[in-house]
Chains A and B, each alone.
Chain A
Amino acid sequence: MTQYILRRILQALPLLFILSFVLFAFTNALGDPLAVFAESRQRPTASQREEIRRRMGLDRPMFEQYVTWMVGNDWQMIDVNGDGSNIQPGTRRGVLRGDLGVSFVTRKPAWTRIEERLPATLTLMIPSYTITLVLALAIGVYSATRQYTLVDNIITGASFFFYSMPIFFIALMTIYIFGVQFSRWDLPALPIGGTGNGTTIDLIVHMLMPVFCLVAIQLAGYVRFIRSSMLEVLGQDYVRTAHSKGLSESNVVRKHALKNAALPLITLIGLDLPFLLAGAVVTERIFAWPGMGRLFIESFERADVPVMMAILMLLCVMVVVFQILTDVVYTWFDPRIRY
């Protein structure tokens, strides 16, 4: 087992390196991080922009920037002014030594910015994912055992209703109804945006709308997935055998079918969990939720390469970790699997 995990990690390393290079090349092509405020009153002058670009090392060739990002530049001397008048040692240590770089926007370490946003994202994503899964299990199993009945068709239709709506629309509609119109009708309106004043009760109140939206649009996919894996299992011979032995319906479903249908579901969860860290771009934006999805978009809009790279690489690493974890969990559920 340990050996297997080690092998998986070693296999993942070259992949991570190649990914990091490709992503670095892409994120660096996103535009000029200093151009965003060209219309503001206090815009930096052209000469100042050049100077800052040089100091941030943005004038260097992309490959050189990548090497600096990866292994740092504290072992070389940097010509700060570009004319040999001011030569200083580099200060970057590189990703390999735990330095993910400094955000162009706040000039704080990229990792600090992620740390600031991660808790809020998890606070939003974990409950909504959990609720989605629990509901989907209940609905999916229910409709699989009653395939093509009226109830099944209604459930399928209803779950598609939300699935086919763009989330930004559901979200704004929710805000419009429960935030704006409720206060007009003098009903208790829900708070719009943010995480509240810090108390847990207030946090939960603020979570109602975003969690509802996330569950609404995710549910249909999972319901369908669970329904079809259940149907798959219910058609297997051993389930028929169990039936014929006179076991009760609920017993068959729970003891035999569900446990076997759980394997593909675990694969799916293993693929999804790392992406919970990425947050929900659109939902977080609309509900002004201080999460990772928003951080990515904000960094994207300002071409903040270090922060974008930190987020992307964090996700890549988490994907690898969760794949390995999934394999481990497999062995619990299915003793036949050994590594």
Chain B
Amino acid sequence: MKHLRKFVSAAVLLTLVLGLMLAPVAAQDVPTLTVGFAQEPDSLNGFYTSMAFAQWANDLVVASLWDITDALEAYPVLAAEVPSVENGGISEDYMTYTIHLKEGLMWSDGTPLTSDDLVFTYQMIEDPANNMLQGSTIAEALESVEAIDETTFTLTFNSPKPFPEDLAGAPGLSTILPAHIYRPVYEAEGSIEFADANQDPTVFSGAYVLTEWRRGEQMTFDANPNYTMGEVGIPRIVIRFFPDTETQYAALQAGQLDFVPNVSEGDKARVSTFENVTITTVFGGYIESLWLNIRDEATPRAGHPALQDVRVRQAIRFALDRQAISDELLAGTVSPTDSIYGGSPFENPDLGVTQHDVNAANALLDEAGWVDSNGDGTRDLDGVELVLRYGTTTADWRNNIQAVVQQQLAEVGVGTILEAYPASEFFGAWANSGINAVGEYDIAQYANNTALTNPANVTVYESLNCSQIPGEDNQGGQNFTGFCSEEMDAASDITLSSLDGEERLDAAYTIQQIMTDNVPVITLFPRGDNYAYNTTRFAEAPVIGSGVGNQWFAIANWQLAE
């Protein structure tokens, strides 16, 4: 018993000591905006992360050359102007960009920010030794980069690049590395992959500087004293990490959080009922869709044979009551679309939306020969039951949609087996037997990212392109549906490279028509980026940027209520 008492007192003492160790002094009476993130950023160097939350944290501390407003217009930040053919910034053939920086730019430590920093950044992107997660599109497209003087540099591409605004959101033009910090590391180690500044940056160009990062818990940002682009309204921003979304919402509800980005579709209705909490939705280009596996090669797995028949695919679209999903499951906050460009300025307005029509679905399935011949409630043909494997990620709201879709399809005699995978399996590489990559599904539900600033749609040229169909000899292929249309690929090339805006838009309309007719993908609804905030904390409603650019693009103008 004596020893037990000793043990107990030792434990208590140890606790106190540890508690004090955890406690660097941080008195807080600075007006602070408290933000909740569901995940902790994994890196504060934009080239080493694919995580939305890391990008968002980066956007506070990193100024880009230009940015995109909530109205999807490009405006210059570090650059003196957004280059165009008219202002001479872009050559006639769209192959060379000449970019002028503003005068007197500074890093947060007072060092001048010059074209040297940009040239260094592009050199880093191009060196494979840096093992970056981002920037390969730029690295592949970039022919050369050259500093003309302190504030001017040129980028030469190997093919026409008609959309300068597109490069703003793309990592590589949004992250600019401070050469005076990274160059010594690069020269010493031959790579900046393990540079301390990736995790603990000390020098910044954005409206805020990182003052403290308590791992696993929170990041503190203070207004950048050397910010050259105007006054910053809120002196301090604290980002706290809440791995459990329920806790996060509880903190929001209790007034302990002021701003929460990334409210999921399923939680939107509920969160908007909290006292003093408002949700703003900014469309960021995500479209939630059902991807049908119409691959016919047996290796590693072909989709269900019924899906080969376009009538069956159309019937499934008729059988879905997407309006009901929107109205009843998602509180009417989204509306169905048939377009792979849904919600963007390039959506074909004449396309219309397929309405829920059980009779049409039944008729098409009958016509295709899939009838319930054995009376078990599920259609079949030649002894094959029309039962589809329907997989998605483990997100609750998606699993709820799954359950509802299952029931809607059952009404027309189409059976489904519901499956849910963690993202690392669902989207895993071919070598890891990723579900999508090897085709272990008939219907896969996930979101793609449509184009918002130009008609070149990455979903179309990457995930639906004939040359991207995965197989033994094309293991990195991204076209998991296996859909192939030469005509659509041709149109997609036009959206990518034509210098004529009219022609690009026409091509986008062609693509939408082909997609609607062939149904390799059933689009459910365009999904917004939802931001919840406590209205009592803000002097006026904060202006939030589109996800294709920077959600904090107007952060300097945000004001807290007195």
Contact partner, A179, options B8, B51, B254, B547, Cβ 8 Å: B254
Q: Which residues of A contact B171 (CB under 8 A)?
A: 42
Q: Is the CB of B50 within 8 A of A42?
A: yes
B21 at the interface (CB under 8 A from A): yes
Total chain A interface residues with beta-carbon distance under 8 A: 87
- Does A252 touch B at the CB level, under 8 Å? no
Contact with B along A166-197 (1 / 0, CB 8 A): 00000010011001100110000101111101
Residue of A with least CB distance to B251: A192
Kindly state whether residue A134 has any CB partner on chain B within 8 Å.
yes
Indicate whether B300 reaches chain A with its CB closer than 8 angstroms.
no
Find out whether the CB atom of A200 lies under 8 angstroms from the CB atom of B43. Answer: no
A194 touching B218, Cβ below 8 Å:
yes
B136 close to A192 (CB less than 8 A): no
Query: How distant is B281 from chain A, measured CB to nearest CB, in Å?
Result: 17
Interface residues of A in 106-122 (CB under 8 A from B): 106-108, 113, 116-117, 119-120, 122
Whether the Cβ atoms of B256 and A198 lie closer than 8 Å is no
| B446-A39 in contact (CB<8A) | yes
CB of A53 within 8 A of CB of B19, answer: no
Whether B495 is near chain A, meaning CB under 8 Å from some CB there, is no
How many angstroms between the C-alpha atoms of A48 and B42 in the bound complex?
A: 18
CA distance A122 to B20 in the complex (A): 12
**Nearest Cβ on chain B to A135's Cβ, whole angstroms:** 12
Cβ of A31 < 8 Å from any Cβ of B?
yes
- Which of the 9-residue segments B424-432, B497-505, B508-516 touches chain A? B424-432
Q: Residue of B at shortest CB range from A172? A: B246
Decide if B250 touches A175 in the complex (CB within 8 Å): yes
| B213-230 contacts to A (CB < 8 Å) | 214-218
B8 nearest in chain A by CB position: A130
CB under 8 Å from chain B, chain A span 267-312: 285-288, 290-291, 294-295, 297-298, 301-303
User: Is there an interface contact between B217 and A203, defined as CB atoms closer than 8 Å?
Assistant: no
Q: How many angstroms from the CA of A333 to the CA of B426 in the assembled complex?
A: 55
Known: A117-B215, A194-B218, A288-B242. A130 touches B426 (CB 8 A): no
Chain A residues with CB below 8 A from B216, complex form = 116-117, 120, 290-291, 294-295
Q: Which residue of B lies closest to A183 (CB)?
A: B254
Min CB distance A198 to B, Å, is 4
Stretch at the interface among B63-71, B191-199, B373-381: B191-199
CB of B201 closer than 8 Å to a CB of A: no
**B15 and A106 contact, CB distance less than 8 A:** no
A-chain residues with CB within 8 Å of residue B1 when the two chains form the complex: 254, 258-259, 262
Interface residues of chain B, those whose CB is within 8 Å of chain A, are: 1, 3-4, 8, 11-12, 14-16, 18-28, 40, 42-43, 46, 48-52, 55, 128, 131-134, 136-137, 169-171, 193-194, 198-199, 214-218, 240-244, 246-248, 250-251, 253-256, 275, 284-286, 422-429, 431-432, 434, 446-447, 449, 476-478, 547-548
Q: 11 A-B contacts, Cβ less than 8 Å apart?
A: A32-B427, A42-B49, A43-B50, A45-B136, A46-B476, A46-B477, A48-B133, A127-B15, A175-B246, A193-B242, A262-B1
Binding site for B on A (CB under 8 A): 30-53, 55, 59, 80-81, 86, 102, 105-108, 113, 116-117, 119-120, 122-123, 126-127, 129-130, 133-134, 137, 172, 175-176, 179-180, 183-184, 189, 191-195, 197-200, 203-204, 254, 258-259, 262, 285-288, 290-291, 294-295, 297-298, 301-303, 329, 332-333
* 8 closest cross-chain pairs (CB), A and B: A290-B216, A38-B427, A31-B424, A37-B50, A32-B428, A46-B476, A116-B215, A35-B427
